[in-house]
Amino acid sequence: MTRRAVVQGVGHYLPERLVPNCEFETTLDTSDEWIRARTGIERRHFVADGQGTSDLAVHAAEAALRDADLSPEDVDAIVLATSTSDLTFPSTATMVQDRLGMTRGFAFDVQAVCAGFIYALANANALIVSGQANRVIVIGAESFSRIMDWTDRSTCVLFGDGAGAVLLEGREENGNSDDRGILSTDLNSDGRFRDILYVDGGVATGTIGHLRMQGKEVFRHAVEKLATTARTAVSKIGLKESDIDWIVPHQANLRIIKATAQRLGHSMEDVIVTVQDHGNTSAASIPLALSVGVADGRIQKGDLIVTEAIGGGLAWGAVVLRW
Ligand code: ACO
């Protein structure tokens, strides 16, 4: 028998304020047509004044707990992926722990920008497989609207706010690729590329800073690295790309999503796409897409899923799991 981290619940939360592309036309030299054609994005949600990443994360965690029919005291750990923590410290994860009323166990943040949820899943999987925790809430939550330069049309139209969560539980499975749960992970980073996507503020500057991106460069790396990491993760368990039922990619740009699916030999019918409705919600985009895919009945128990992401660092990776 092999211990596997199996998804027992999933949920998400989007802040109320819905912002269509046309809203940017009043302040920037841009158009709904340009944004749709170059990115696939049609709308995104933004947090309200006074609303923070921890607020979004609490709602998503509660939804995942409801879906798993569990309460906070049943949970051993929270692993939360974010680059837009409410404060420098404490971690957003411990704020969520408190708000859920969870007084035991442990909670910590993971920071790998848009690849954050992949890194968080890999960490939670390691905790479960090694017996350090049995039930872990894995959350991706972001308020990227807080770090936008609203005068930079090449970045501020791309991002959105939101949160998604899964509840992972340790289960004894057979030890083969038919098992439910996380079957393989592949993590990578290369700090030589840190300058093509970063925030120009932090403790060193005493400011929050704004997101800066060389879009074309990031695009080039994304198309090349996402298919490679997905292929590596699938091959680690002796499966082929054609065995994949669903690709659940990081939702940054529809053109990147299409190019990656094509490289993996899949049509867009096998891909969960939410970028049109959410924009790029960084670490929240994959659990949001998983939650949407389950809620509308596409993702079913037993389906083989590959999920992949790339973000600032550069950091990238993939996780293969059977739902
Ligand atoms: N509206 C109108 N025109 C625009 C806009 C806009 N919102 N933004 C840029 N343009 C203009 C540019 O100024 C440029 O004009 P110029 O030719 O006169 O200089 C022209 O459009 C073309 O710009 P490009 O940057 O070449 O456009 P491109 O087709 O590369 O699309 C984009 C830009 C959408 C940013 C794309 O490069 C992209 O998606 N990159 C990847 C982003 C990504 O995946 N990020 C994921 C990680 S995010 C994270 O980790 C936090």
The two tokens of residue 175 are 């030890």
Domain hosting residue 223, numbered range: 181-322
| Residue 188 falls in the annotated catalytic set | no
Among 101, 212, 121, 209, residue whose Cα is nearest residue 168 = 121
DSSP 149: -
Which protein residue's CA is at the shortest distance from atom 24 of ligand 1? 216
Same domain for 117 and 223, yes or no, is no
Check whether residue 125 and residue 194 sit in a common domain: no
Kindly indicate the confidence band of residue 141, based on its pLDDT and cuts at 50, 70 and 90.
Answer: very high
Q: Is the dihedral of CA 218, 222, 224, 229 positive or negative?
A: positive
168 shares a domain with 33 = yes
Contact 160, 146 (CB under 8 A): no
Ligand 1 midpoint to CA 83 (Å):
21
E strands, the chain, are: 2-13, 17-20, 43-46, 77-81, 106-110, 135-143, 161-173, 181-189, 197-199, 211-213, 246-249, 304-311, 315-322
* 30 and 131 inside one domain: yes
Q: Which of 156, 173, 190 is the last residue of a domain?
A: 173
Query: Could you tell me the maximum CA-CA distance found in the chain, to the nearest angstrom?
Result: 60
The reply to whether 110 and 194 lie within a common domain is no
What's the mean pLDDT when you consider all of the chain? 98
Are residues 71 and 189 located together in one domain of the fold? no
**CA distances, 209 to each of 3, 37, 109, 178, 283 (Å):** 43, 29, 20, 46, 19
27-35: long-range contacts (C-beta < 8 A, 24 or more apart)?
Answer: 27/150, 28/151, 28/153, 28/156, 28/157, 29/153, 30/153, 30/157, 35/157
* Cβ of 253 below 6 Å from ligand 1: yes
Range 216-221, long-range pairs (CB < 8 A, 24+ positions): 217/193, 218/310, 218/314, 219/253, 219/255, 219/256, 221/193, 221/196, 221/310, 221/314
Whole-number Å distance, alpha carbon 213 to ligand 1 midpoint, is 9
CATH of the domain at 64: 3.40.47.10
Give the confidence band of 219 by pLDDT, cuts at 50, 70, 90: very high
96 and 224 inside one domain:
no
> What is the predicted pLDDT for the residue at 228?
98
250 is catalytic: yes
For residue 81, the model assigns a pLDDT of 98
Helix (H/G/I), strand (E/B), else coil: 68:
helix
Give the confidence band of 130 by pLDDT, cuts at 50, 70, 90.
very high
The active-site residue, picked from 123, 125, 253, 280, is 280
Q: Is residue 110 domain-shared with residue 55, that is, in the same domain?
A: yes
Are 140 and 57 members of one domain? yes
As for how many domains the chain has, the answer is 2
Same domain? 117 vs 40: yes
Tell me how far apart the alpha carbons of residues 270 and 58 are, in angstroms, rounded to a whole number. Answer: 30
The predicted structure's pLDDT at residue 119:
98
**Whose CA is closest to atom 36 on ligand 1?**
215
Tens-place pLDDT, residues 17-47: 999 999 999 999 999 999 999 999 999 999 9
Looking at the fold, whether 120 and 224 belong to one and the same domain comes out as no
Region 219-234: mean pLDDT is: 97
Specify the residue with its C-alpha closest to ligand 1, atom 31: 38
Query: Helix axis angle, 92-100 relative to 53-68, nearest 10°?
Result: 50
Q: Does residue 61 contact residue 96 with C-beta atoms inside 8 Å?
A: yes
Could you tell me if 211 and 306 lie in one domain?
yes
- Cβ(162)–Cβ(15) under 8 Å? yes
Tokens of 290: 């998983």
For residues 158 and 12, what is the distance between their CA atoms, to the nearest angstrom? 20
* Span 162-175, average pLDDT: 97
Domain boundary (147, 173, 199) is at: 173
**What average pLDDT does range 304-322 have in this prediction?**
98
310 forms bridges with which residues in the sheet? 316
Which residues in 216-300 belong to E strands, given as ranges? 246-249
- Alpha carbon of 93 to those of 14, 27, 79, 169, 310: distances in Å? 18, 35, 7, 18, 22
Domain boundary among 173, 198, 228: 173
pLDDT digits (tens, 9 = 90+) for 40-99: 999 999 999 999 999 999 999 999 999 999 999 999 999 999 999 999 999 999 999 999
Strand partners, 6: 169
Name the closest-CA residue to atom 50, ligand 1. 311
